[in-house]
Each structure stands twice: as C-alpha cells, then as structure tokens.
Structure 1
C-alpha cells in the first residue's frame, strides 16, 4: 500500500513537472508542483525504513527534521497556490512575506533540533520529552505554523467553493473541511505540547484520537481535491462506452447505406490502430458514422416511395422504413434520374442530437432484427 501511494505521488509530481516545463511562468502551477514535490519527498522520511536510513548516515533525528521542514514547505506552497491564483500584486507581495515567515520558522526549529543531543531528539511526538524546551519548541513551532498555513488555505478553499458550481463546489467544500480539520488537529497538538512542557500528562487515548482526526482530515482533503476530476473522468468513460455501443448499433444501417451510396463514406482522420480505443478517436468515428448515415438516408430517400404513392415518407415508423430500405436499396443509381426529390427520413420530434441518434439507432435495430 505504501509503495502504491508513493508511486501515485511520484506520477503526479512527474506530470506536474512536465506541465511546469511547458508553462514556466505559471505561478499557481509552480506552487502546486512544488507542493506535491515537497509532500512526495517528505513521505519516505516518515516511513521507518527511510527514516532509519537517513538517521544512520546523518545522525538520529535528521530524518524527522528534514521531514518537518518539507511539511512546512508543503503547506507554504499550498497557501501560495491560492495567493497566486488571486492574480494581483498584493497577493504576490503577500507570498514573498510568507516565504520569509516559513524560512524563519524552518531555521528556528532547525536550531532547536541541533541544540540537543541526537538521542534526545530521536523519539516521536507521543514519546518525546517535552519538558526539554528545545523539543517543545520544535514540535510546537512547527505545529503552530502548520495550523496557520492550513487555516489560510482552508479559508481560500471555502471562498472558491462559494463561487463555484457542482461538482467543483462539492470537492472544494470537502477539501476546505479537510484543511480546517487538519488545522484544528495541529492546534490541539500545540496545546498538548504546552501541557507536556509544563510537566502535565496527556492521556494516550486522547493523543490517538487527535492522530486519527489528522488522518481522516488528510483523507477528506485528498478526496475533495480529486473528486471533481474523478467524477469528470467517470462521466467521460460512461460517454465513451455509450458512444462505442451506439457506433456498433448503427452498423447495420451504415453497411446498407454505404453499399448503396459508397460516396457517403468519409475519409478516416487516422489509420492508427490505437486510435480505435482513444477517446478522441471513438468520438470522431461516432460523429462520422452519424453524418454518413444521415447523408445516406438523404441520397436513398427518393427511391423509397412505392409506385403511385403520393405521400411523404418523413413520418414512416422505424420498422416500416427499415423494410423499405432493404427492399429498395438495390434500385439506387439504376435510374438516370431519381423518381422524386429527396426528403428527410427518421427525423425525431425533439430538436436535439441525442434524439436524432436514437432515431437512427431505432432504424438500425429494425434492420438487424429483419435480417
């Protein structure tokens, strides 16, 4: 599971780095890329194997120090994304001031960590000796900045959620709730640091509850960020599947019309094999088949009236139209002049593209059943 998460983060970073290389002056994109890069780099340091490897080389507690500095950078760049998205000189000046703040916090907690023996700094948050002022300052200072940056990012997220529509608004509200819960968890942990620094004891179940809140809030934030994109992809996949199905259902009608009127067949835009499965290729072939079927019906319509029949074939039911198509298709082109003018066929009552496709599919299904 850990490997899959790290692989997903690495893939996201690679994609954002590629986008950044194509738009190097896009400040919001740069902030998102650096945010993901900082988070991805810090993730292995939180794992026992990664932390022990760094500590073996650089001394106990080094991995924890680097991880916390990277977390500070993660939330700073997340906050910068919203500041740069405001697209104003005031926002850019604010981002530069925030850079000074995060740099001061990072230097301060680094000095605090390096001023104590490595053995003292080796413990986790729940086991560290908070009566040592440097340890308490390390955890408390980092936690307070995380609380501040997450709260600001959550406020901006909620602001954008109020201006957005679904499904983006739903995802933004979930992300805002996740950021707010993370800020709350950081604030509570800062209170724990103060209590333990003063010699008090925080029950382990209480600390475990706050740690659980932090995990849930992170998951809620991740779900909120990915929700609009995931929903859009699901919708796109459903449309892809439906158009592939409709394309195949139109085959009987298309084959009949293309044999009678070969000139209706349009030239394919691509002959590549993988184009059959790509979304763009599927949609293009789907729309081309609709156009070809419509052109074929126009060309064949003059030949569908029975002898002596003086009615429009516009309103023929799909089953009747299918019978006449199959019966009269071989007469197309055998006469010098068409017996009558072309008329629209299989025209839906509703004036929209989906109704038009449903009408063509009904005729095609009738042809298949009568074969």
Structure 2
C-alpha cells in the first residue's frame, strides 16, 4: 500500500510541478487551479499511505485524518475551479470560485475546531459526528456540482478526448459518491449510537470492508478525475503532431498535380506578399494554399474539360465509388491540360466527376482527401489508357 499511494503521490506532485513551472507565459486559463488540484490530490494520496500517516502522527498526534480530509476538500474545490475557468466567462468563473473558496475555508476551519474539541472530550462520538457532517456536506456539494457539469459538458463537446476525459471524471465522481455514502453511513451509526462501521480501523487490504469504501473508493475517484481532466492536455500535442504530419505528407503528395497546373496557369499561384514569416512556414497554411491553387486551376480548365473523355473514363472504373470518381476526374484534368496547350476547346463540357462539392466547401480535410485521390491517380498513370483514344496526348505522368 505504501508503494501504491506514495508512488501516485509522487507522480501527481511531479505533474503539479509541471503545471506550475513548465507552462511558460502567458499561462493558460486554469493553470493555477489545475496545479492546486494535482497538489491536493498528491497530498490526499500520500495521506492514505500508512508510512506517511505514521510519520505525521509521530509529529502531531491525531492529525492524519483531518489532513487527509482537508486535502480532499481542497482537491474538490480545485476541480470545480478548473471546470469554471475553462467553461465559464472570466467574471462568472471568479464569482463562483470565490464562493467555493469561502465555503472551503469555513469548512476546514470548522473541522479544525472540531478536531481539537474531539481530543479535549476524549474522542467524543458526538463531536466526531459533527466533524463528519461538516466534511461530508461540503464534499457532497462539490461532487454533485462537478458531476452535473461534467455530464452536461460531455454531451456538448465536439473533441473526443475532452468527451472521454469528462466521462472518466464523471466515473470518478461516482466513486467519490460511494465514499460520501460510506461517510454518511458512519455518521448515522454514530447518531444512533450503534457501531455499524469501524471507521477508525486501520486498513491492510484495499478490497476488504470497510477499506474498499474508505480508501479504495476515494483513491479511484482521485485517479479517474485526474486522468479525465489531464487526458485532453496529453492527447492534444499528440493529435497536433499527427495533424502536422498529415498536412506535410498531403502537401507533398499534391505536388505533381500542382506543378502541372501551375506551369500551365501561373496565375493560379497565390502571392506570398501578404503572408507573415510564421504563416509562410506553417503546414496548415501551406496545405490550404496548395488546395486553393489546385481547385482554382481545375476550375480554370472548365472550357477544356471534355465530356467524351469523361464518359470513356467512366466505362473503365467501378461506378458509384469515390476512388472511381477520382480516377475519372484525373483523366478529365489530364486531357484538359493537354487540350489547353493546343488551344482545343471541348465540344461538350464535362460535369464535375463527383458529388458532395457543397458538403466539402469550407472543410479543408475533406477537400484535401478528395484532391489527394485525384493527385494519386494523376501521378501514377491510372488515366493514360482512358485519355488516349482520339484525345490529346496525356501530360503530367
């Protein structure tokens, strides 16, 4: 148990240090709240370890339990602060956080007074019951508040990592409610004067009663909430790196088609005079620019797009597939470039080779995927056979 809880405490303390020291400036919204959350959870995990508990008790007797409970309340408040700062307007977030901090200070102060009173009255069950009532009231309020927010936000967010993270945090809230229910049971047993639950018993196993409720449940709650709230921050840089790699590869794959179109129509190449230095080297900017230039080039070829070439190409591919439509479009574009070089206008202009143009409008990824299929068919010679019979000689492959 010492290894598990102290190990988790060290990991959470390291994560808190990263949020405090490694975020740079200006710090994003919620940085300090997340730091406080991780630090509070680190202290809460450490307080579950018998080694830490014995060390603290050797210095100040009977302080381990209120220290652990205070860390739990601080962590719950930090969770709410993170949620408020991320999802509410700054003024409203500050107002709600101030209220929760006031309630936290009042609860912790009241708990400290009751702990002192409990020791002075030789561990009076009535005083301990008041202590539990104060602790569980604020903790339950914070858990329910956060659970409502996570469920509402998980249903409205579009990012899958955020949605999964919020649902993990909601699962953590369920375990926290199990712990709160256990504490309420202890409270009622004290009020009725019966010892239903041995609340002061030392735990030697994480799966035996009542330790499964008093230690395992809050530990799982802490773990799931921490993982849920940090998952988007971990996934985001990975997804951004994958996105940039896809953009670079797509930019290069569109190169052969773009080179032939820009060589035939230099006017489609956009001016770089208005782009700043950072944007000019950004993969998203470069890919978007290339997609626009290729689309403009294909549009400019409209008078040279032969319907007969299109129909001949359609007879050689599988009808109704996007790949087949891309091969047909590549054949039409290749023949249109050749016709443009000879000045031969099409007798009958070909219609677009694929539907869904309106749905792709404004969607860089969808438009890029479509052009990548055309560029692949164009560069690998899949259109030579269909663009050859009686039409201008294919170019670009």
Q: TM-score range by the shorter chain?
A: 0.5 to 0.7
Q: Deviations along 1:311-340, whole A, 9 cap, x unmatched?
A: 6767662453465378x39x84xx8xx554
Query: Does residue 1:364 correspond to 2:353, yes or no?
Result: no
Aligned pairs for 1:156-305 within 5 A: 156-157=148-149, 160=152, 164=156, 172=166, 174-189=168-183, 191-192=185-186, 200=195, 202=198, 204=203, 205-210=208-213, 211-225=215-229, 240-268=244-272, 269=275, 271=277, 281-299=282-300
| Distance (whole Å) between structure 1 residues aligned to residue 166 and residue 330 of structure 2 | 50
Deviation (angstroms), 1:101:
4.1
Query: Does residue 1:76 correspond to 2:68, yes or no?
Result: no
Deviation (angstroms), 1:140:
2.7
| Residue 335 (structure 2) aligns with | 324
Deviation (angstroms), 1:206:
0.4
| Distance (whole Å) between structure 2 residues aligned to residue 93 and residue 260 of structure 1 | 62
Work out the number of aligned pairs and report it.
335
| Distance (whole Å) between structure 2 residues aligned to residue 196 and residue 286 of structure 1 | 68
Contact 2:16 2:39 in 1 (8 A): no
From 100, 109, 112, the equivalent of 2:111 is 109
| Residue 41 (structure 1) aligns with | 39
Contact 1:51 1:64 in 2 (8 A): no
| Residue 147 (structure 1) aligns with | 139
| Distance (whole Å) between structure 2 residues aligned to residue 213 and residue 6 of structure 1 | 21
Q: Deviations along 1:58-107, whole A, 9 cap, x unmatched?
A: 756667655543432332354567789788x9999887666554333212
Contact 2:41 2:75 in 1 (8 A): no
| Distance (whole Å) between structure 2 residues aligned to residue 154 and residue 175 of structure 1 | 9
| Distance (whole Å) between structure 1 residues aligned to residue 371 and residue 291 of structure 2 | 8
| Distance (whole Å) between structure 2 residues aligned to residue 266 and residue 101 of structure 1 | 59
Contact 2:117 2:127 in 1 (8 A): no
Q: In angstroms, what is the RMSD of aligned CA positions?
A: 5.3
Q: Residues 208 and 57 of structure 1: is their aligned pair in 2 closer, same or farther, counting only changes over 3 Å? A: closer
| Distance (whole Å) between structure 2 residues aligned to residue 360 and residue 90 of structure 1 | 46
Q: Which moved more, 1:176-185 or 1:74-83?
A: 74-83
Query: Does residue 1:348 correspond to 2:354, yes or no?
Result: yes
Aligned pairs for 1:112-131 within 5 A: 112-113=114-115, 131=123
Deviation (angstroms), 1:188:
0.8
TM-score by length of 1: 0.63
Contact 1:298 1:345 in 2 (8 A): no
| Distance (whole Å) between structure 1 residues aligned to residue 261 and residue 62 of structure 2 | 75
| Secondary structure at 1:206 match in 2 | coil
Contact 2:172 2:225 in 1 (8 A): yes
Q: Residues 359 and 228 of structure 1: is their aligned pair in 2 closer, same or farther, counting only changes over 3 Å? A: closer
